[in-house]
Structure 1
Amino acid sequence: MLGAEGASTAIESYQSQAQQLMKDYLLADTFVPYSSILVGIFACKLVYELTQLLSAFYFKSYSSLSIIKRIEWNNRAISTVHAVFITGISLYLVFKSDLYNDNALSGYITYRSSFLSTSALGTSIGYFIADLVMIVWFYPSLGGLEYVIHHLLSASSIAYAMITGEGQLYTFMILISEATTPGVNLRWYLDIAGLKRSRAYLVNGVVIFLAWLVRTF
């Protein structure tokens, strides 16, 4: 009987902790995180539509592509814009701003967050959600299971940092690696355009290699 009472007390304790976690994080100041996610999703839609419109006007080869290739073309434009955005924000927050400067603010660095940092993470989550939906919808044309797992893990880890405010510094340090994405996408564009043997394709490959070396160290 005593064991049953102890188990019941433990369950009530866990429930209380879960409710407190929900109150402290998921239900506290939800406007900025969730609205930034929506902004990220709508931004992806806007970039997709603009890419479709401008590419058909400025690139003659675009219209000759298959439907799925045109979708991937537009999708990679979204990926590139997100990479430029989140890399720029990450570099600023990690190296330039006072948010993670020991001499500017008190408290542990791992618990610091701001309106800008939270909004940027929310926008990035919006991108991962939108891209994941496209990958699943056109599966496996835009990527296989590894892409699905990558996006799920990325969105989950970024969401944790955004909601709790914990570890945002390290999250942005990892997101700096998105700097290589525009080069990878450009390589795909050059290949599709029939410029695989061009000097631009070679230079692009060298730049990607050097960028990966810098990121590794």
Structure 2
Amino acid sequence: MDPFSQLILLISVVSFCTFQWLFHSVSPWASSRISPGFLKLTHKQKIEWNSRTVSTLHALLVGLFCLYILFFDEAVNQDPVWGDPTLVKINVSITTGYLISDLLLIFYYWRAIGDKFFVIHHLAALYAYYYVLGQGMLPYFANFRLLAEFSTPCVNQRWFFEVLGYSKASKPNMTNGVLMAAVFFLVRIKLIYMLDGLRVSTLSFLVELFL
């Protein structure tokens, strides 16, 4: 195994351990001090709260990394298929550690946060990221896919407000709703149209490559 592959593996392992630590230790400790309502939640709600807190932290971390790659990584932006995937691999390895960590928590706390669709989602993502990490393929598209994580914090925040008893008509809830709609549109809908032309050219390249 070459040194860079060892680094990617190490980052994934550290990522896994870090997100486990955030779930079991940091989130309960910080949440009980930041939001007094956390202590009034049921055991199952606390498990989901901690899971969503970690999810939000992961989304912000990889999302900001994605923006940096999008604006400053010329190698990936100039060659979406085979451009130097170094930074994308690092970001994907962080996400890989998170996904494996979250899968473990889903199975362990199945009665509280178990969801077969999340399991399918995580496994499908890990399968796709295997080609990014193992083959270095399509780093530009992997980066764009991870940009969609920017909508996750707003979705989680809506759940936080709901479980804390905020009215749907409350100002914080409405503000979050507007922000969620705007971010969701930008990172999960508008990006589709931005990628259409690039997809066509990339597919043409792949057809020529393999035929």
- Paired residue type of 1:98: E
**Gap change, CA 1:54 and 1:101, over 3 Å in 2:** closer
Structural mapping, 1:46-65, within 5 Å? 46-48=21-23, 49-65=25-41
- Give me the whole-angstrom Cα distance separating, in 2, the residues matched to 1:166 and 1:28: 18
Residue 39 (structure 1) aligned with residue 14 (structure 2): yes
**Alpha-carbon distance in 2 for matches of 1:28, 1:112:** 19
* Higher mean C-alpha deviation, range 130-139 or range 91-100: 91-100
- Which sections of structure 1, spanning at least 5 residues, go unmatched? 1-26, 103-107
Larger Cα Rg: Structure 1 or Structure 2? 1
Report the Cα distance in structure 2 between the residues aligned to 1:196 and 1:95, rounded to whole angstroms. Answer: 39
Gaps (5+ residues) in structure 2?
Answer: 191-211
Indicate yes or no: 2:107 matched with 1:136.
yes
- Return 155-164 or 78-87, whichever deviates more: 155-164
Choose the corresponding residue for 1:81, options 51, 57, 79.
Answer: 57
TM-score (norm 1): 0.80
**C-alpha contact 2:9 2:93 (8 A) present in aligned 1:** yes
Q: Secondary structure at the match of 2:113?
A: coil
- Quote the RMSD (CA, aligned, Å): 1.6
Does residue 1:200 correspond to 2:175, yes or no?
Answer: no
1:100 is paired with a residue of what secondary structure? helix
Q: Percent identity?
A: 24
SS of equivalent residue, structure 2 residue 74:
coil
| Structure number having the greater helix percentage | 2
1:177 aligned partner, one-letter code: A
TM-score, structure 2 normalization? 0.82
Deviations 1:37-76 (Å, cap 9, x if unpaired)? 1111122023221111111223221111111111111111
Q: Distance in 2 between matches of 1:119 and 1:113?
A: 12
Q: Deviations over 1:56-110 (max 9, x none)?
A: 22322111111111111111111001100111111111222223243xxxxx441
8 Å CA contact 1:135, 1:143 repeated in 2: yes
Provide closer, same or farther for how the CA distance between residues 159 and 140 of structure 1 changes in structure 2, counting only shifts above 3 A. farther
In structure 1, the partner of 2:121 is: 150
Distance 1:195 1:155 in 2: 36
Q: How far apart are the structure 1 equivalents of 2:54 and 2:166?
A: 22
Aligned pair 1:94/2:70, yes or no? Answer: yes
CA–CA distance in 1 between the matches of 2:75 and 2:112? 41
Distance 2:94 2:84 in 1: 15
The whole-number CA distance in structure 2 between the counterparts of 1:114 and 1:90 is 12
Counterpart in the other structure of 2:92: 121
Residue number in structure 2 paired with 1:19: none
Q: Does residue 188 in structure 1 map to residue 159 in structure 2?
A: yes
For 2:20, the aligned partner's letter is: K
**Paired residues, number:** 186
Segments ≥4 residues shifted beyond 3 Å: none
Between 76-85 and 195-204, the greater mean CA deviation after superposition: 195-204
The separation in 2 between residues aligned to 1:54 and 1:89, in whole angstroms, is: 24
